[in-house]
């Protein structure tokens, strides 16, 4: 058969293929391109330009792959090609296979290619550079999120994920595995609302394996488990006395009991099938949505021991969110939320925390028996450890272990003190250094005590006082000077006589930066001076 006859024979068959298909002559010139190829060309449909594909192969050093096959090569060969899709739909990898067909007047090469992902995904395509900057976004993606293309392209992708954890998870997967990744992710629309979409993405790599970009596409499709969740959990949540609800992976509530509806003053029709963003103030809705996404991302139960009600800060809840897994217990398809009203206990605890504060600037932190922070008082250290307390801080503390804030050298002493408090119920006093938001450490005086009468569970209450400024006043030289003032001594020799020690002992105390405690106690007892004042210059009526 001649080249012309082969072309007539194969063209109609390749036209019917859903995969990309080409026929080329011995020089690599395109003789035919099927509709699938024509669809992905950036040129107008009538100006066929499949040569663009060959040019991309040449740019990648693979042009020879499409030439006629020599006699000593396998009958079918393979190559991978990066294809840039039109309208900002992104970049895809295409796996090509091609075979040479001899003709009486030459030869042709048949080539067909399949996308590594589940398809070209031009509808909501994207490409993100390794540095996190969005390189391309299709009009459909811009439209569904409410942005113009200029508001997306050139901006950091992290700004458009609803949580940083989502982006980190996806990028880690694409970096670690050279595969197409599929899953669900929640984006932040321009109006602040969450939008959960299915994604298919891959790392676009060069011939040396280096990542050139991350590219793929989003799809909006129904979450098939929503009806299953509603059917299985509606009766369960209705039977619970506390606030209870179930939401799907798309953040839409599929079941809620009367207690939940009363708490938010909503009718069932206003809640079912909606996310919190649809019936709460946007700023308030951010907290439960981020909490739900944390459950989905980490596939673990999330407990908030004491959080104020979103619409009435005078009401407090103990909120637990539990993941609901699919039948194979592999993926989280929803969550069950339960909120128990603990307002009376919070009022009682507030009063107890206030009793513990001796001075106005004292800060009280409450931990569980594992040392995880549950609550803190309205006061804050300066520089701040957490920042100025906000109404819904409890949603963001995430029960952080108090040990995470401490200087490494102080950890052994603090661990020992916590053990004595939580296991032996013995009150402890110690000094330690806590990392603040300025990146430095504040020295604090901490009082640790055990209390379990309010909630019926062990809790540790830590009263913290910043003594950073006092540390200079507690140096040995300053303490010795206050010993002189208290005793009326004018010289080291006179002080030594008062303490009944040698003059060399005074010099050694100053040199070694350590004043024996019995000097302080003896001077305090004999002169009536406050030991706190001798040690750190604290005026007695401020103690």
Where residue 188 falls (left for φ over 0; alpha for ψ -120 to 50; beta otherwise) is beta
Average pLDDT over residues 127-143: 92
Q: Which of 89-103, 238-252, 497-511, 528-542 has the lowest mean pLDDT?
A: 528-542
Provide the pLDDT for residue 393. 67
Q: In which band, very low, low, confident or very high, does the pLDDT at 499 lie, cut at 50, 70 and 90?
A: very high
pLDDT score of 59: 53
Residue 358: per-residue pLDDT? 87
DSSP code of residue 161: B
Handedness of CA 408, 414, 418, 419 (dihedral sign): positive
Q: Is 81 helix (H, G, I), strand (E, B) or coil?
A: strand
Q: Which pLDDT belongs to residue 45?
A: 35
**Burial class of 488 by CB neighbour count within 10 A (0 to 12, 13 to 18, 19+):** exposed
Mean pLDDT of 113-140: 83
Q: DSSP for 391-407, please give it.
A: TTTHHHHTT-BGGGGB-
What is the pLDDT at residue 58? Answer: 52
| Three-state secondary structure of 421-472 | HHHHCCCEEEEEEEECCCCCEEEEEEEEEEECCCCCCCEEEEEEEECHHHCH
- Give the DSSP H or E segment for 37: helix 35-39
Residue 46 binned pLDDT confidence (cut-offs 50, 70, 90): very low
pTM over 0.85: no
With CA atoms as reference, report the closest residue to 88 among 155, 143, 145, 135: 135
Lowest mean pLDDT among 36-40, 136-140, 261-265, 298-302: 36-40
Q: Within a 10 A sphere around the Cβ of 95, how many other Cβ atoms?
A: 14
Low-confidence winner among 121-125, 395-399, 423-427, 486-490 (lowest mean pLDDT): 395-399
Tokens representing 467? 């003594």
In this prediction, residue 70 has a pLDDT band, given cuts at 50, 70 and 90, of very low
pLDDT score at 20 = 87
**Which residue in the block uniquely carries the two structure tokens 């050694």?**
508
Top-confidence range, 36-40, 199-203, 447-451, 515-519:
447-451
Mean pLDDT across the stretch 194-207? 87
Count of other CB atoms within 10 angstroms of residue 367: 25
Q: Give the Cα separation of 206 and 204 in Å (integer).
A: 7
Question: Is residue 532 scored above 60 in pLDDT?
Answer: yes
Residue 382: which pLDDT band, with cuts at 50, 70 and 90? low
Contact (CB, 8 A) for 127 and 213: yes
Measure the CA–CA gap between 204 and 502, rounded to whole angstroms: 79
pLDDT band at 392 (very low <50, low <70, confident <90, very high): low
54 pLDDT tier (thresholds 50, 70, 90): low
pLDDT of 388 reads 59
3-state SS class at 237: helix
The lowest-confidence range among 7-21, 213-227, 500-514, 526-540 is 526-540
Distance between CA atoms of residues 371 and 237, nearest Å: 32
What burial letters (b/e) apply to 185-206, b meaning 16+ CB within 10 Å? bbbbeeeebbbbbbbbbbbbee
**According to the model, what pLDDT value does residue 47 have?**
32
Flag the least confident range among 191-195, 418-422, 520-524, 536-540: 536-540
How does the average pLDDT of the chain come out, rounded? 85
Q: Is 360 helix (H, G, I), strand (E, B) or coil?
A: coil
Rounded CA-CA distance 248/122 in Å is 27
52 close to 40: Cβ distance less than 8 angstroms: no
Distance between CA atoms of residues 214 and 172, nearest Å: 11
Confidence of residue 390 (pLDDT cuts 50, 70, 90): low
Q: What is the pLDDT of residues 222-279, one digit of tens each?
A: 777 888 899 999 999 999 999 999 999 999 999 999 999 999 999 999 999 999 999 9
Confidence of residue 497 (pLDDT cuts 50, 70, 90): very high
Per-residue confidence (pLDDT) for residue 53, from 0 to 100: 56
Mean pLDDT of 423-434: 92
**Average pLDDT score over residue span 420-429:** 95
Residues 174 and 202: beta-carbon distance below 8 Å: yes
**CA-to-CA distance for 133 and 160, rounded, in angstroms?**
11
CB-count exposure of residue 320 (10 Å: 0-12, 13-18, 19+)? middle
* Nearest of 135, 122, 192, 199 to residue 159 by alpha carbon: 192
3-state secondary structure of 323: strand
Contact 33, 21 (CB under 8 A): yes
pLDDT band at 182 (very low <50, low <70, confident <90, very high): confident
Q: Is 87 left (phi over 0), alpha (psi -120 to 50) or beta?
A: left
Q: Is the pLDDT of residue 540 over 60?
A: no
- pLDDT category at 333 given cuts 50, 70, 90 is very high
CA angle 312, 316, 322 (to 5 degrees): 115
205 pLDDT band (50/70/90 cuts)? confident
For CA atoms 395, 398, 403, 407, give the dihedral sign: negative
Q: Give the side-chain half-sphere CA count within 13 A for 226.
A: 15
Q: Tell me which residue of 343, 327, 363, 334 sits closest to 233, measured CA to CA.
A: 334
Reply yes or no on whether the pLDDT at 298 is more than 80. yes
pLDDT of res. 68: 44
- Percent of the chain clearing pLDDT 70 (strictly above): 87
Whether the pLDDT of residue 473 is over 80: the answer is: no
**Residue 66: is its pLDDT beyond 90?**
no
């Amino acid at each position: 058969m001649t080249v012309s006859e082969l072309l007539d024979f194969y063209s109609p068959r390749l036209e019917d293929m859903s995969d990309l298909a080409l026929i080329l002559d011995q020089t690599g010139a395109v003789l035919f391109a099927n509709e699938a190829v024509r669809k992905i060309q950036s040129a107008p449909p009538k100006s066929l330009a499949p040569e663009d594909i060959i040019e991309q192969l040449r740019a990648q050093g693979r042009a020879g792959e499409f030439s006629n096959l020599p006699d000593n090569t396998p009958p079918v060969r393979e190559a991978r090609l990066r294809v840039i899709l039109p309208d900002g739909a992104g970049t895809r990898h295409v796996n090509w296979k091609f075979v040479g067909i001899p003709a009486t007047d030459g030869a042709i090469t048949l080539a067909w290619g399949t996308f590594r992902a589940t398809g070209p995904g031009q509808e909501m395509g994207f490409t993100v550079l390794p540095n996190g900057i969005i390189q391309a976004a299709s009009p459909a993606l811009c439209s569904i999120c409410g942005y113009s293309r200029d508001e997306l392209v050139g901006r950091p992708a992290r700004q458009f994920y609803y949580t940083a954890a989502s982006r980190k998870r996806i990028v880690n997967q694409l970096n670690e595995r050279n595969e197409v990744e599929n899953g669900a992710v929640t984006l932040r629309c321009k109006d602040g609302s969450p939008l959960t979409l299915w994604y298919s993405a891959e790392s676009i790599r060069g011939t040396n394996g280096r990542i050139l970009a991350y590219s793929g596409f989003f799809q909006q499709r129904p979450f098939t488990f929503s009806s299953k969740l509603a059917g299985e959990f509606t009766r369960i949540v209705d039977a619970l006395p506390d606030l209870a609800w179930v939401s799907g992976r798309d953040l839409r509530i599929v079941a809620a009991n009367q207690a939940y509806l009363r708490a938010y003053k909503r009718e069932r029709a206003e809640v079912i099938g909606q996310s919190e963003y649809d019936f709460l103030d946007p700023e308030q809705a951010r907290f439960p949505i981020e909490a739900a996404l944390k459950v989905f991302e980490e596939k673990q139960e999330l407990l908030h021991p004491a959080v104020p009600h979103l619409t009435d800060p005078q009401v407090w809840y103990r909120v637990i969110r539990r993941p609901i897994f699919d039948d194979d217990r592999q993926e989280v398809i929803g969550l069950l939320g339960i909120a128990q009203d603990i307002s009376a206990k919070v009022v009682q605890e507030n009063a107890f925390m206030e009793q513990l504060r001796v001075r106005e600037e004292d800060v009280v932190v409450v931990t569980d028996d594992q040392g995880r922070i549950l609550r803190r008082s309205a006061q804050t250290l300066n520089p701040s450890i957490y920042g100025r307390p906000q109404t819904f801080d409890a949603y963001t503390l995430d029960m952080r272990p108090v040990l995470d804030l401490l200087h490494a050298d102080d950890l052994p002493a603090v661990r020992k003190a916590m053990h004595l408090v939580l296991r032996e119920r013995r009150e402890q006093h110690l000094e330690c250094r806590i990392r603040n938001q300025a990146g430095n450490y504040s020295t604090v005086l901490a009082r640790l005590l055990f209390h379990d009468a309010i909630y019926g569970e062990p809790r540790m209450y830590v009263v913290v006082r910043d003594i950073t400024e006092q540390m200079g006043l507690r140096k040995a030289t300053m303490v010795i000077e206050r010993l002189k003032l208290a005793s009326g001594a004018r010289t080291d020799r006179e002080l030594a006589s008062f303490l009944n020690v040698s003059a060399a002992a005074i010099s050694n105390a100053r040199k070694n930066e350590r004043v024996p405690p019995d000097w302080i106690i003896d001077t305090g007892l004999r002169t009536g001076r406050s030991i706190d004042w001798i040690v750190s210059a604290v005026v007695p009526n401020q103690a």
